[in-house]
Structure 1
Amino acid sequence: MTHIPGKRLPRPGPVLAAVTALAATFGLGLAGEAKAAAPRAATPAKAAGPFDDDRPHGFASLAGGTTGGAGGRVVTVTDQASLARYASAPEPYVIRVAGSIAVEPFGSDIVVASDKTIVGVGDTGEIVHGELHLNPGTHNVVIRNLTIRDSYVEGDWDGKTTDFDAIQMDGADHVWIDHNRFTHMGDGLLDIRKDSQYVTVSWNRFTHHNKALGIGWTSDVRTQITIDHNWFSGTKQRNPSADNCAYAHLYNNYLSDQVADGDPVWTYGNWSRGRTRMVIENSYYDGVRHPYQADATAELVQRGSILRNTSGRTDEHGTAFDPHAFYDYRPDPAAAVPALVKRFSGPQQRIGTVLRVPGTDNGYITAASTWKGDPYGFLITDSRIVSDAPAGSVRPGRPRHPGGEPDAVGQVLVRNTELSAAVKSAPWTGMSGFSWKDARFAEYRDHGAGGTADRPQLGEADAPSYAVAGYLRGTYGWAPYARR
């Protein structure tokens, strides 16, 4: 069998900017690609938490990694037309799905093109009776924190009359499917087909369905996939079924409440089929018929899993492969899996509300455009500007002159504020041929690792005039802070 080279790649830190008392929008950079290398000996690994810094792990992290729409425009959609337009666009996008989107006609596809992140906002994002479809050649896609549900056709339990999956990909590469809930669809819940490569499926819920997760539909042996911390509940088969996978790594999955319809063959947990090499680690099987099985032509290594009230096949043969030769990971104890997965799998309120995107040039805190006759523009006061971006990668700001208007002279004051090390120590930055020195940028008594006297400072004599009252009063005399 052809050996597929891979290596976990070093990544720049992600960015999260949180500004108390001011909502500031950052321009976000895209991580550069790196070439894959040969497998190597394992190094000490940091345990992957349920959110893992919003970066993929496992096979989706290899050969350049999976960044989705990082570096592209961030948009929020609430209707099918907008979702379909941005998802199929040639440019990178981070697409936030807010609320429930009902797809028409029933069971229709929404095509997802390369370089996209589709993420539910909190736990509200839903796609109802529609499919996300990745065509051959699609690459670099992240789908997170969505519920995709209800394209089931009554009476078609075997899914023979429709092909209404939740997600289907054909010949795609570098795809991360994370923290979603898939339920009650028309065929499979998640179909990974036709030599798709570098895929990670993590922290999802597969519920109330016949066929949960199928991998294969090919005679080639190319697919590399990591499947971890998923909860298969109320499903019958394909949990997963992995056919002709070069490498299938399953760990810390929880299988429970398996459908019992009297079928002795097609009711099962994990199946290593064809020429698949499968490794199963520290998973938990509760009330499952045929927890894990393998064709005579396939290989399956299992270690550390817990079987409770199970029956039927538990096949193990061959040596499969060593996942540590490809990437670092540390499985949770099998006994902890049910509690972990019940709590943290599926859509989460904290995901999609603030986006963390890898990068080394993480944009600007402000891009102010203030009319030259107005003394007050933006005030950031008594706040904390924090980030887990690399040190010196976030710029304080730049002047914005819409349409080249010279009289739009930005005014920004940052005072009594803690600045993290992510903020550049260098002065402010020019834009579109306009120098920052002609704008009105200043700081006053800022502190923290990103604070520096090298940038323009507001004098003590002027400080009383540029406090909260002055900015609120402006030229209109507004004084909501005053007692009446």
Structure 2
Amino acid sequence: MPPLRMLRPGVAAVLVATGLTVVSPTAPAQAADSAPIGFAAVDALGQNGTTGGAGGPTVTATTTAQFLDYIARPGPYVIRVSGTITLPKGNSDGMHNVTSDKTIVGIGANARLVGGGLNIGLPVDDDLTSPPANAVHNVIIRNITLTGASDDLINVQMFTHHVWIDHNDFSNGDDGAVDIKRGSDYVTVSWNRFYDHDKTTLVGHDDDNAAQDAGRLRVTYHHNFFDGSDQRNPRVRFSPLVHVYNNYYDDNSYGIASTMDSGLWVEGNYFYSVNNPGRVNFSGELGRLVQRDNILVACNHPIEERGGVPDPRTYYAYTADPASSVPSVVPAGAGVGKI
């Protein structure tokens, strides 16, 4: 297709009709999102959508000790993060457990978690192949910069379900930025900025983990800014449906990879200078991918298509923006300080 003129943030005021709301980059629709769109909003596994710590106490963490105390407590909590909190490496490679029914939200644009990451899920147990009654669930993480972890920035594992990861900045983790694996389910990753990072977001543990992962790992990615994040944006195994819509890809080696019979529905995204925007012939068994209304500019390969994938509307309602608006709307609205 012929090259299209690139719309950079602040160059053009693009009005986008999203349902009944009309917004511009200076007043993005996502500022009004009080609940997730996508799989995190689906009623399933005894959980009605994702509400986080709603109904529990609201506390403010300004120190490492306070933060680690609050995220480990039982019951619902809304945990407000103020300033920079350093997560120690300790004996867990810097990964710190978050319990069920938590909202972790930054105050303003300067809340930061540095040096470690958040683990949302029970300890790894390869013998467990179905969701246990005590699986971690109902967690929201919003408006925080996570950087410099010695492992993952966020790791969702072991049948955790109903997680909403929204309006965060992710960079410079040693492994994944947001990894979702080992039977986790009903997750939405929205309006985040990923930059200065290599292996961005993995869905599915490995090619031999079908016993835990097959039929689960339903994830929605929408309005994320993959800003030079090199690969795994996302890379998927075994999921029956990962929905990737209205994301902005800028200067990536590859965008999306569907493997091990995963089903990906890819629509309304904008790919600029991406070597391989979407792949099904990648590593391991082939995946499945259906694509609709995407725009590719200065890309070396087309999006690979194969097989059939369930329509996401069989699970939830949503309205996709025109792909042409994505290069203006997403960078203006993604990341911290926008809610």
Same fold (TM over 0.5): yes
Shift of 1:324: 1.4
Sequence identity percentage: 40
Shift of 1:321: 1.1
Aligned pairs for 1:296-375 (under 5 A) are 297-348=286-337, 351=339
Shift of 1:169: 1.1
CA radius of gyration, larger in: 1
Report what 1:187 is aligned to.
175
Q: How far apart, CA to CA, are the structure 1 residues paired with 2:251 and 2:242?
A: 24
Report what 1:198 is aligned to.
186
Report what 1:481 is aligned to.
none
- The 3-state SS of whatever aligns with 1:289 is strand
Query: Tell me, which stretches of 5 or more residues in structure 1 are unaligned?
Result: 1-43, 153-163, 259-266, 352-484
Quick check: 1:282–1:331 contact (8 Å CA) kept in 2?
yes
Q: Which residue identity is paired with 1:192?
A: I
- The 3-state SS of whatever aligns with 1:188 is coil
- 1:253 maps to 2:237: no
Query: Tell me, which stretches of 5 or more residues in structure 2 are unaligned?
Result: 1-17, 22-27, 123-134
Shift of 1:297: 3.6
Q: How far apart, CA to CA, are the structure 2 residues paired with 1:189 and 1:290?
A: 20
Report what 1:55 is aligned to.
35
- 1:83 maps to 2:83: no
- The 3-state SS of whatever aligns with 1:50 is helix
- 1:125 maps to 2:111: yes
Report what 1:142 is aligned to.
140
Q: How far apart, CA to CA, are the structure 2 residues paired with 1:301 and 1:338?
A: 22
Task: Provide, for residues 123-164 of structure 1, a one-character-per-residue CA deviation record: whole Å limited to 9, x for no partner.
Answer: 111001110111231100000010000236xxxxxxxxxxx1
Quick check: 1:46–1:329 contact (8 Å CA) kept in 2?
no
RMSD of equivalent CA atoms: 1.7
Q: How far apart, CA to CA, are the structure 1 residues paired with 2:161 and 2:57?
A: 22
Quick check: 2:204–2:239 contact (8 Å CA) kept in 1?
yes
Q: How far apart, CA to CA, are the structure 2 residues paired with 1:105 and 1:149?
A: 13
TM-score, normalisation: structure 1: 0.58
- 1:231 maps to 2:225: yes
- The 3-state SS of whatever aligns with 1:336 is helix
Task: Provide, for residues 322-353 of structure 1, a one-character-per-residue CA deviation record: whole Å limited to 9, x for no partner.
Answer: 1112111111111110111111000125x3xx
TM-score, normalisation: structure 2: 0.82
- The 3-state SS of whatever aligns with 1:236 is coil
Shift of 1:45: 5.2
Shift of 1:76: 0.5
Q: How far apart, CA to CA, are the structure 1 residues paired with 2:69 and 2:39?
A: 29
Q: How far apart, CA to CA, are the structure 2 residues paired with 1:211 and 1:343?
A: 24
Q: Which residue identity is paired with 2:305?
A: E
- The 3-state SS of whatever aligns with 1:101 is strand
Shift of 1:313: 4.9
- 1:273 maps to 2:259: yes
Q: How far apart, CA to CA, are the structure 1 residues paired with 2:29 and 2:311?
A: 22
Q: Which residue identity is paired with 2:76?
A: P
Aligned pairs for 1:383-398 (under 5 A) are none
Report what 2:8 is aligned to.
none
- 1:97 maps to 2:95: no
- The 3-state SS of whatever aligns with 1:257 is strand
Shift of 1:101: 0.6
Shift of 1:65: 0.3
Shift of 1:49: 2.2
Report what 2:12 is aligned to.
none
Report what 1:169 is aligned to.
156
- The 3-state SS of whatever aligns with 1:95 is strand
Q: How far apart, CA to CA, are the structure 2 residues paired with 1:175 and 1:45?
A: 24
- The 3-state SS of whatever aligns with 2:140 is strand
Q: How far apart, CA to CA, are the structure 2 residues paired with 1:209 and 1:99?
A: 22
Quick check: 1:277–1:300 contact (8 Å CA) kept in 2?
yes
- The 3-state SS of whatever aligns with 1:246 is coil
Q: How far apart, CA to CA, are the structure 2 residues paired with 1:270 and 1:53?
A: 26
Aligned pairs for 1:17-36 (under 5 A) are none
Report what 2:197 is aligned to.
209
Quick check: 1:236–1:268 contact (8 Å CA) kept in 2?
yes
Aligned length: 288
- The 3-state SS of whatever aligns with 2:30 is coil
Q: How far apart, CA to CA, are the structure 2 residues paired with 1:127 and 1:290?
A: 32
Quick check: 1:221–1:276 contact (8 Å CA) kept in 2?
no
Q: Which residue identity is paired with 2:138?
A: N
**Structure 1 residues 46, 138: closer, same or farther in 2, change over 3 A?**
farther
Q: How far apart, CA to CA, are the structure 2 residues paired with 1:135 and 1:224?
A: 16
Q: Which residue identity is paired with 1:124?
A: N
Q: Which residue identity is paired with 2:77?
A: Y
Q: Which residue identity is paired with 1:181?
A: D
Quick check: 2:89–2:95 contact (8 Å CA) kept in 1?
no
Task: Provide, for residues 155-209 of structure 1, a one-character-per-residue CA deviation record: whole Å limited to 9, x for no partner.
Answer: xxxxxxxxx1110011210000000000011111111011111100000011111
Task: Provide, for residues 451-478 of structure 1, a one-character-per-residue CA deviation record: whole Å limited to 9, x for no partner.
Answer: xxxxxxxxxxxxxxxxxxxxxxxxxxxx
Task: Provide, for residues 16-44 of structure 1, a one-character-per-residue CA deviation record: whole Å limited to 9, x for no partner.
Answer: xxxxxxxxxxxxxxxxxxxxxxxxxxxx9
Q: How far apart, CA to CA, are the structure 2 residues paired with 1:301 and 1:96?
A: 39
Deviates more, 1:121-130 or 1:97-106: 97-106
Q: Which residue identity is paired with 1:151?
A: A
Q: How far apart, CA to CA, are the structure 1 residues paired with 2:286 and 2:149?
A: 35
